[in-house]
Amino acid sequence: MTTKIALLLVALVLFQSVAIAAKKPAQITDDTITDQVRLKLTSDPDVKGGALQVDVKGGVVTLAGAVELPKQRDKAEKLAHKVKGVTSVVNKIEVKARVPGK
């Protein structure tokens, strides 16, 4: 009888430990956010963001570089905002029209 009670108490403690651990949200690091933003930018057919720079500090994403169209600049910012863990986006992307022949 004592053994059954002891096993029941051990099982209860283990169950509570798992339940408490499951409630804590995983921390999203700046490196993870950087990777996710870069992935979204490079995989988007409009932005084609392989040449854009992404810097993240404390969940604040700073985008830099150049694109050809204003809509690419705007979409890059929208894509960055959609990444989990992003608190704000600083958009320093410049719009520079491509020069023919270069």
Domain boundaries, the chain: 30-95
What does the pLDDT profile of the chain (102 residues) look like in tens digits? 777 776 666 666 677 766 666 555 668 999 999 999 999 999 999 988 678 999 999 999 999 999 999 999 999 999 999 999 999 999 999 998 876 665
* C-alpha distance from residue 102 to each of 52, 57, 97, 98 (Å): 19, 35, 11, 8
Q: Which residues pair with 13 in a beta bridge?
A: none
Assess if CATH 3.30.1340.30 describes domain 30-95.
yes
Question: Alpha-carbon distance 92 to 38, whole Å?
Answer: 15
At 23 the pLDDT is 59
User: How much is the pTM?
Assistant: 0.71
* C-alpha distance from residue 12 to each of 9, 18, 70 (Å): 5, 10, 59
At 85 the pLDDT is 96
